[in-house]
Amino acid sequence: MKVNFEDVSDAGSAKQAAPILRLDGLSKHYGDVIAVEDLSLDVADGEFVSLLGPSGCGKTTTLRMVAGFIKPTAGRIGIAGKDVTALPPYKRDTGMVFQNYALFPHMTVAENVAFGLENLGVERSERMTRVHEMLRMVELDHLSDRRPAALSGGQQQRVALARALALQPALLLLDEPFSNLDAQLRVRLREDMTRIIERIGVTTLFVTHDQEEALALSDRIVVMSTGRVEQIGSPGEIYERPSSRFVADFIGQCTILDGTCADAAFRSVNGLRLPFEAPPWRLFAGAASRTCTGGRGGRS
Ligand SMILES: Nc1ncnc2c1ncn2[C@@H]1O[C@H](COP(=O)(O)OP(=O)(O)OP(=O)(O)O)[C@@H](O)[C@H]1O
């Protein structure tokens, strides 16, 4: 898929419904290692898109190029109507939540959430209003004076989300935010986070290697393998019409007969063997406040 990059700068004009994120031919090579190769993608306003694939497929490199922490070898990145390819992270209008929370240990919860706002020059009273609004949203207002070490993993990750959202970013970047949490907490935090993200309506790019998570949460999924895009589609499309053996294998461990996923194939989800008609997002539909039509019910 190739995109025309020229109309990104029209995002503020009346004629567009320009994407919030546009990647055009994005590549990253480390010598002979191809981390990401020729990735093009548009993410619409309010969309929740997952980068999904096995370890080493280039998900994190892609997210970090979008955030501005890694310089692409080739290609361009547009965010909210601006070519940001050459801009530093703090000028990109993104908020990021990392796998390991990345909170400042010497600061209180409120100070952590306020930190980015201070850097942006938001004045004190506005800063305090936004900090408490965000902490109320993640239900941690009562812990605003605690330091991160006195919080559980789930609470720390909610602080990290509050910190990212306090910046009111055009694009929220989530780098495996649930992977350090135990299974039960993971599901609970996932529900909380997706409810908040949906309420705010912020456009989100989410990195995960967890098929079930991607199927349950996403409007669209980008399946990657060895730096390349294998398929982009809604959870329903990816699950029911995998475009390659790799996608079929990776998404559902379905049985492949004669090169196609056979109708009789069964998929394994949480140790259960499910027939094709019971796609896994249905298992999460209630938990993740989703409809049963696939992922987030498709806002696009
Ligand atoms: N600084 C680097 N130097 C050389 N190779 C790198 C570097 N960073 C990443 N790579 C390689 O680029 C490829 C993509 O890495 P990346 O971290 O993006 O994968 P990933 O899909 O996020 O994997 P994981 O799920 O394990 O985090 C891998 O083969 C990795 O070894």
Tokens 């008609």 belong to 277
pTM of the shown model: 0.82
Q: Which of 218, 214, 294, 232 is nearest to 23 (CA)?
A: 232
Distance 56 CA to ligand 1 centre (A): 5
Q: What is the pLDDT of residues 264-275, one digit of tens each?
A: 344 444 444 444
Residue 209, ligand 1, Cβ within 6 A? yes
Residue 55, ligand 1, Cβ within 6 A? yes
180: pLDDT confidence band, cut at 50, 70 and 90? Answer: confident
Contacts of residue 98, Cβ cutoff 8 Å, sequence gap at least 6:
160, 175, 177
Q: Are 89 and 111 in contact (CB under 8 A)?
A: no
Question: What does the pLDDT average to over 105-126?
Answer: 90
Return the best residue to mutate from 60, 209, 213, 230 for the ligand 1 pocket (most ligand atoms within 8 A of CB). Answer: 60
Cα dihedral 33/87/133/151 (nearest 10): 40
Q: How high is the pLDDT of residue 8? A: 52
Does position 67 have pLDDT exceeding 50, yes or no? yes
Protein residue whose Cα sits closest to atom 7 of ligand 1? 30
Q: Are 248 and 242 in contact (CB under 8 A)?
A: yes
> Could you give the count of Cα atoms lying within 13 Å of 1 in the half-sphere of its Cβ?
16
- Alpha-carbon Rg of the chain, whole angstroms? 19
By three-state DSSP, how is residue 25 classified? strand
Distance 159 CA to ligand 1 centre (A): 27
277: pLDDT confidence band, cut at 50, 70 and 90? Answer: very low
Residue 63, ligand 1, Cβ within 6 A? no
Q: Got the DSSP string for 86-120?
A: TS-GGGS-EEEE-TT----TTS-HHHHHHHHHHHT
Residue 267, ligand 1, Cβ within 6 A? no
Q: What is the pLDDT of residues 185-215, one digit of tens each?
A: 888 888 888 888 998 899 999 999 999 889 9
Q: Which helix (H) or strand (E) holds 154?
A: helix 153-166
Distance of alpha carbon 98 from alpha carbon 33, whole angstroms: 24
Q: Which of 254, 245, 250 is nearest to 274 (CA)?
A: 254
Structural domains of the chain, with CATH: 6-243 (3.40.50.300)
Q: Are 276 and 263 in contact (CB under 8 A)?
A: yes
> What ipTM was predicted for this assembly?
0.97
